[in-house]
Amino acid sequence: MDKDTILKVEDLHVDINMLEGKLTPVRGVNFEIKRGETLGLVGESGCGKSLTCKAILAINDKKCKASGNIIFNSEETGEVNLLDLNPRGEEIRNIRGKHISMIFQEPMVAFSPMYTIGNQINECTRLHITKDKKKSKEITLEVMRKVGIANVEKRYNQYPHEFSGGMLQRALIAMALVCNPQMLIADEPTTALDVTIQAQILELMKELQKDFNMAILFITHDLGTVAKMCDRVAVMYLGKVVETGTAEAIFADPQHPYTRGLMGSVHKIGQKKQDRLFSIEGTVPLAMNLPKQCGFYERCDARIEGLCDRMEPELVQTEDGHQVACFACNNEKCRKQREEAEKLLAAEKA
């Protein structure tokens, strides 16, 4: 594995066995994150982005079975396949919160209402850094100061209900950063916050990223925050990554019909007023007993009958660092994949 790559996810599947049958919300996700980089994982609800990031830390529900490879690479731990580790074992617990930590969507729910904020941040410090009570409190206060919480001595002894939403999200970030992690997973960290607070939190995360040289996996459905935060973007649909590339390339020239639809359905302020927004018809299908076809087939406006409903396109490299999974895209590599698929289908027929 490349030395600069901190995390590589290969062919990740998550299955859930239910009474009605097997649900596969994540169906072969591939991506990698370099040190100090921000990767945005974008997609609508139900596309499997949260399950993917929870699979990295092995904190998915027991009935979720993950398979594939998630390779984490750091100086201290070397290369480890996180999926091989026992989800309740010593090794993953050493990584969780120390090397990779996570910020959750709703700060109001993420904290326990029964303990003080200081106490809860301290838990992480005491577990990973020092057992010394005095020292650990010092470290906690220091990190609380760093995320911009004023009056930390008083705040340390307060309960979550005494914090506003924005402050609570800062406290959650403090908890995630207290062990200087090399990687941070942020699952919709600002979705529950107001725009002005959101802007503050995003700026704070960017600053801290520089200080810690931390990689961030930023999960969101808001394209505005993606444009502001991310170096690279991976677009997910129905449990698969359908397009990845640099943020500039994805926003300037989206290739996959789904990415194009997603971009079109967001109104940009100042844009010429059309009467109607572009909208993708239909809804995301349920990831159960999916036929062998492109997941986006039914909602796609560029679909090729007889091909897209019989074969599923793979991610192919179109340019340096840009990957698309689509038969209908107009570039050399995608056309090549299409020709091969058509040949295969013709051979099957014969």
Query: 258-277 burial by CB neighbour count: b if 16+ within 10 A, else e?
Result: bbbbbbeeeeeeeeeeeeee
Binding mask 65-104 for other proteins (x = CB under 8 A): ----------------------------------------
Other C-beta atoms closer than 10 Å to the C-beta of 160 total 21
Amino acid occupying residue 332: E
Task: Indicate whether 262 belongs to the interface with other proteins (CB under 8 A).
Answer: yes
Q: Which of 110, 199, 290, 345 binds other proteins (CB under 8 A)?
A: 199
Task: Indicate whether 330 belongs to the interface with other proteins (CB under 8 A).
Answer: no
Question: What separation in angstroms does the CA of 252 have from each of 166, 224, 247?
Answer: 32, 14, 8
SS (H, E, C) 138-195: HHHHHHHHHCCCCCHHHHHCCCHHHCCHHHHHHHHHHHHHCCCCCEEEEECCCCCCCH
Question: What separation in angstroms does the CA of 205 have from each of 2, 46, 59, 110, 312?
Answer: 26, 26, 23, 18, 37
Pairwise CA distance, residues 58 & 16, whole Å: 14
Q: Kindly give, in sequence order, each residue whose CB lies less than 8 Å from that of residue 74, ignoring residues fewer than 6 positions away.
A: 6, 99, 182
**Residues near other proteins (CB under 8 A), total:** 49
- Min CB(186)–other proteins separation in Å: 15
Task: Indicate whether 224 belongs to the interface with other proteins (CB under 8 A).
Answer: yes
- Min CB(277)–other proteins separation in Å: 4
Amino acid occupying residue 63: K
Q: Which of 20, 270, 320, 346 binds other proteins (CB under 8 A)?
A: 270
Stretch that binds other proteins, among 127-135, 171-179, 255-263, 342-350 (CB under 8 A): 255-263
Q: Which of 3, 62, 161, 268 binds other proteins (CB under 8 A)?
A: 268
Task: Indicate whether 239 belongs to the interface with other proteins (CB under 8 A).
Answer: no
Q: Which of 52, 122, 198, 337 binds other proteins (CB under 8 A)?
A: 198
Q: Is 6 exposed, middle or buried (0-12, 13-18, 19+ CB in 10 A)?
A: buried
Task: Indicate whether 248 belongs to the interface with other proteins (CB under 8 A).
Answer: yes
User: In the range 17-46, which residues lie near other proteins by CB under 8 A?
Assistant: 44-45
Task: Indicate whether 148 belongs to the interface with other proteins (CB under 8 A).
Answer: no
Task: Indicate whether 255 belongs to the interface with other proteins (CB under 8 A).
Answer: no
Q: Which of 1, 18, 109, 252 binds other proteins (CB under 8 A)?
A: 252
Task: Indicate whether 165 belongs to the interface with other proteins (CB under 8 A).
Answer: yes
Q: By CB under 8 A, name the binding residues for other proteins.
A: 44-45, 164-167, 194-200, 202-203, 221-228, 230, 247-248, 251-252, 261-273, 275-281, 283
